[in-house]
Amino acid sequence: MKEEDRKLAAKKWTKKNIFWITLLTILCIACFPINPLVLSGVLETCYNHVLYIIGWAFWAFGMVLVMCPIIIFPHRGGIEKGKSFVNTTRLVETSIYSVVRHPQYLGGIFAIFITTLLWYPHWLFGVLGTLGIVIIYMGCREEEKRLIQQFGNDYRRYMQKVPGMNLLAGIIQLLRRRKRE
């Protein structure tokens, strides 16, 4: 993508985009695993030791996924030395990107919304988490549009081959691809 195109895309921030990002930020704070609503005593939840341990596993797995582009893109994404991982110039289809297209978003879902519900079982975190997951999904769809603009038909082919955030389907598809090869 040319520098002029990037500047134009950055100017396309609309009130709608700002609304959704603000709402997602509020949801992430309200559902953060070290939870302000629980710690301040606003909400009382039931502690369940098994769910708490499972929550730690989901949090750790989610954080690994969140770190993927930060670690993988500088090595495989054609990024100039010293630039941020968001400046990827090459489509990455290996490692976790051969399983899901958006590991960072999926990791956020695991590390924030699912972990919080497991650590603090309360209906409010179920509702807020569901809303947060929907907003992240909508953000992924917007990201897809930008990536199609940047990588064209290569990205369209990649979309047909690898699911966006469905980890189970991605693993099954990867195993099928390897079996055919």
pLDDT in tens, 141-163: 988 998 999 999 999 999 999 99
Specify if 2 maps to a domain. no
Q: Is 90 exceeded by the pLDDT of residue 49?
A: yes
pLDDT grade for 16, boundaries at 50, 70 and 90: low
Number of domains, the chain:
1
Q: 165 near 113, Cβ under 8 Å?
A: no
Confidence band, pLDDT 50/70/90 cuts, at residue 39: confident
Residue 10 pLDDT > 60, yes or no? no
51 belongs to a structural domain: yes
9 part of a folded domain: no
Question: CB count, 10 Å around CB of 36?
Answer: 12
Asked if the structure places residue 167 within a domain, the reply is yes
* In-domain check, residue 49: yes
Tell me how far the alpha carbon of residue 123 is from its chain's centroid.
23
Residue 6 lies in a domain: no
pLDDT in tens, 132-143: 899 899 889 988
Please tell me the pTM assigned to this model. Answer: 0.81
Q: Any idea what the Cα angle at residue 25 is, between residues 120 and 41, rounded to 5°?
A: 35
E strands in the chain: none
Task: Say if residue 5's pLDDT is above 60.
Answer: no
Q: State the residue range of the domain holding 143.
A: 35-180
